Chain A
Amino acid sequence: MAGRKFIGGVHPDYSKELARGAAIEEMPLPGRLVVHFTQNLGAPPEPIVKKGDAVKKGQVIAEAKGFVSAPVHAPTSGMVTSIDVYPHPVGTDLPAAVIEPDGADEWAEGLNGERDVSGLDGQAVKQYILEAGLVGMGGAAFPTHVKLSPPENKTIDLLVVNGAECEPYLTADHRLMLAHPAEILDGAALFARVLNVKRIVVGIEKNKPDAIEAMRKAAAGREGLEVAALDVIYPQGAEKQLIYALTRRRVPAGGLPMDVGVLVQNVGTAFAANEAVRWCRPLISRVVTVTGSGIDRPGNVLARVGTTFQDLVAFCGGLAVDTGKVISGGPMMGVAQYSLEASVTKGTSGIVLLRQDEIPQYVSDACVRCGRCVRVCPMTLKPSALSIFIEKMDFEQAAEYNVNDCIECGCCAYVCPSLRPMVHHFRRAKAELRKAARKAG
């Protein structure tokens, strides 16, 4: 069979063997949870609890504000002891509620019961997904119900379930596919029901043969379901690249997958959808890979949303003496953290801890125009030219060269012989362009 891949891409050192063999372990309730109110892309939800409030597990603590927003639920029962600004793993300090668990872990009324899903229509399923606060769990945290609401003039004929997990080190999706293949497919079927889609493809990279087998076994006998093995190349799991690899359809610049009739959902999101709709459990926990040479016992942990990195690290045996870097997410796209006070959000797929000798301190140089970044860019941009424009503060020119289409995968920075901080440049340009757009009204 011909390889299923896209244009560009790199082959980083995957280092998945560290946590690949560790089955998902449920973490006991920590002594304190820091639950961020902002857990989705788009409009931040509106907090509705205050200091001193008692909350039940699954109770809404922040309501969705506007359409592109998702509610946040209390991950356990207990008391809100304070509301303050805490480091958020995406790289900002944002308000969060500190919840001290009472140990009872008592569900709020009407939750955690089986619901008969056979008779539900698409609208009802979508409503349950919205109420459960589902967001994309691959890392971007885009509200799921928004993705499930394509405009009238767009028809979707294919649902892609993303199990590529191309980011090095991370194995959370891999272990989830091994542990709950049937539930993931049930969740995918719910998405398909909302969109009235007949065909579902699960895309998994070939470096996870056991996951492919498990999913194929679970898919046997289900109609319209296919499990596709994908070539191992980064960023295979990026939405647009995955669609191209599977269908050869190209999402237009600035467009969305729905423009080519495809919807992509992460396996974790599919699993959460089944939990939400079938079992009435809002999204309050997720699988987080804690890995890297800087941790004593790498593993895949089922942690409550709001678990601090400190507690997660302690659960996994603690830090190595010379741990020098903590990254939320994978090493290619993740964000370096300055404090273990940061806590797990709905979009936190892993924490990578690296030792001092693995993180060279380098000085970047001028672009030598070797063009390696151009060759590997999966969005076929010209990172070299872009970074030069941005260094000269010519953001308009950068916009003309489509800096806004950059998916920040980091391939260009990975191959750059001058060690240029490409993605940081592009993020700066995007920030400046947003600022200019705001100013222009």
Chain B
Amino acid sequence: MLTAVIALAALALLASFGLAIAARIFAVKVDPKAEAIEDALPGANCGACGLPGCSELAKRIAEGKADIDACPVGGESVAREIAGIMGQSYEGGGARMVAMVMCNGNDQAAVKRFYYNGIYDCTSAALLFGGDKACSYGCLGLGTCAGICPFGAIDMLPSGLARVNPDRCTGCTKCVGACPKGIIRMVPAGSTVHILCSSHDKGGKVRKICSVGCIGCQRCVKEAPEGAITMDTNLAVVNYETGIPAEVAEVCPMGTIVVQGAGAVEPAEQRAAGGEG
């Protein structure tokens, strides 16, 4: 018994010496700044910065090859922290941006042309006549964006639409590139009034296929302050630099303009979607 204990203790001692020496000889030099920056970064490895992961970005920032605010997910607070580590000053960037799906045409509002029973994925569905929705700009509701979101910030509503939860969205823009319809737009986090439509079709066609689509009547353009809403081939687009007052929503004959927190997302529906997963 005693011999065994002594023998093992001796072995352990020997091995620890070996390890201690090896750690000295084969030590990998890590910039302590890079280490500190990596700790400051969110650590989601989402790839939003365009690099393979957080440690790679930390290395680049420490070497001065990337900007201190290169992480779009961390935003201002992380940039400030990194600025402290790097000994630089940070003046603060623009407002925090979040993703928004520019479509409100759910299964009740938008017409479907056919029954799609292929792969449950928007990109796959879009390969066949652009998807089952009659509107070629509409959200297909199969959740490709929700699947790719590293932060679980996108809920698939039971009514067949994707909705971004602005509290959880970090603005990494992964969903923007994943949407085959290209209808996800980055908007300032605080903005509440949105034109939830991406259709460039003419008004007559929109009326036939969607009850909440923009028909390009331009009433909102006249109601809103100068330059706050611009027309882009039959579609009213909000200029988020100025933003638009909530009253503008009242003039929209189609109900395309929604004020968040006032019927943009049915609370019960969102809870149901969140509860399911």
Contact = CB atoms under 8 A, between A and B. Distances in A.
Interface of A: 87, 91-93, 335-336, 338-339, 361, 393, 421, 424-425, 427-428, 431-432, 439
Given A338-B113, A338-B114, A361-B117, A428 B123 contact: yes
Contacts of A439: 177
Contacts of B136: 93
A66 B128 CA distance: 27
Nearest to A428: B124
A424 B130 contact: no
Given A424-B127, A425-B124, 12 more contacts: A92-B129, A339-B113, A393-B148, A421-B118, A424-B119, A424-B124, A425-B119, A428-B123, A428-B127, A431-B123, A431-B127, A432-B123
Tell me the interface secondary structure of chain A in the complex: mixed
A421 B127 contact: no
B117 A91 contact: no
16 contacts: A87-B129, A91-B129, A92-B129, A93-B129, A335-B128, A338-B113, A393-B147, A424-B118, A424-B124, A425-B119, A427-B124, A428-B121, A428-B124, A431-B123, A431-B127, A432-B123
Contacts of B128: 91, 335-336
Contact of B119 (A87, A339, A421): A421
Contacts of B129: 87, 91-93, 338
A57 B114 CA distance: 35
Interface of B: 113-114, 117-119, 121, 123-124, 127-130, 136, 147-148, 177
B104 to A, nearest CB: 22
Residue in A87, A338, A421, A425 whose Cβ sees the most chain B Cβ within 10 Å = A338
A427 B127 contact: yes
Contacts of B177: 439
B189 to A, nearest CB: 27
User: Which 8 residue pairs across A and B have the least CB separation, nearest first?
Assistant: A338-B114, A428-B124, A91-B128, A338-B113, A424-B118, A424-B119, A427-B127, A428-B123
A91 B113 contact: no
Given A338-B113, A421-B119, A424-B119, A93 B127 contact: no
Residue in B118, B136, B148 whose Cβ sees the most chain A Cβ within 10 Å = B118
Contacts of B124: 424-425, 427-428
A436 to B, nearest CB: 10
A431 B136 CA distance: 18
Contacts of A424: 118-119, 124, 127
Nearest to A362: B117
A91 B124 CA distance: 12
B139 to A, nearest CB: 18
A421 B118 CA distance: 7
A257 B122 CA distance: 35
Tell me the interface secondary structure of chain B in the complex: loop
B117 A92 contact: no
Contact of B127 (A87, A91, A393): A91
A335 B177 CA distance: 27
A307 to B, nearest CB: 20
B112 to A, nearest CB: 10
A313 to B, nearest CB: 17
Nearest to A84: B205
A156 to B, nearest CB: 34
Nearest to A432: B123
B113 A92 contact: no
A397 B148 CA distance: 18
B120 to A, nearest CB: 10
A298 B198 CA distance: 43
A427 B127 CA distance: 8
A428 B119 contact: yes
Contacts of A361: 117
A339 B127 CA distance: 16
A335 B113 CA distance: 16
Contacts of B117: 361
B119 A93 contact: no
A308 to B, nearest CB: 16
A336 B127 CA distance: 12
Contacts of A92: 129-130
A30 to B, nearest CB: 23
B118 A93 contact: no
Contacts of A87: 129
Contacts of B123: 428, 431-432
Contacts of B119: 421, 424-425, 428
A361 B129 CA distance: 20
A82 B124 CA distance: 31
A33 B255 CA distance: 38
Contacts of B130: 92-93
A335 B119 CA distance: 15
B202 to A, nearest CB: 10
A139 to B, nearest CB: 17
A421 B121 CA distance: 12
A439 B177 CA distance: 10
A341 to B, nearest CB: 11
Nearest to B114: A338
A428 to B, nearest CB: 4
A136 B206 CA distance: 37
A92 B131 CA distance: 9
B209 to A, nearest CB: 13
A87 B128 CA distance: 11
A394 to B, nearest CB: 13
A91 B116 CA distance: 13
Contacts of B147: 393
Contacts of A428: 119, 121, 123-124, 127
A87 B118 CA distance: 19
Contacts of B114: 338
A335 B127 CA distance: 11
A50 B233 CA distance: 20
A339 B129 CA distance: 11
B204 to A, nearest CB: 12
Contacts of A338: 113-114, 129
A304 to B, nearest CB: 23
A430 to B, nearest CB: 9
Nearest to A335: B128
A92 B125 CA distance: 11
A431 B127 CA distance: 8
A87 B119 CA distance: 21
Contacts of B118: 421, 424
Nearest to B128: A91
A91 B118 CA distance: 14
Nearest to B117: A361
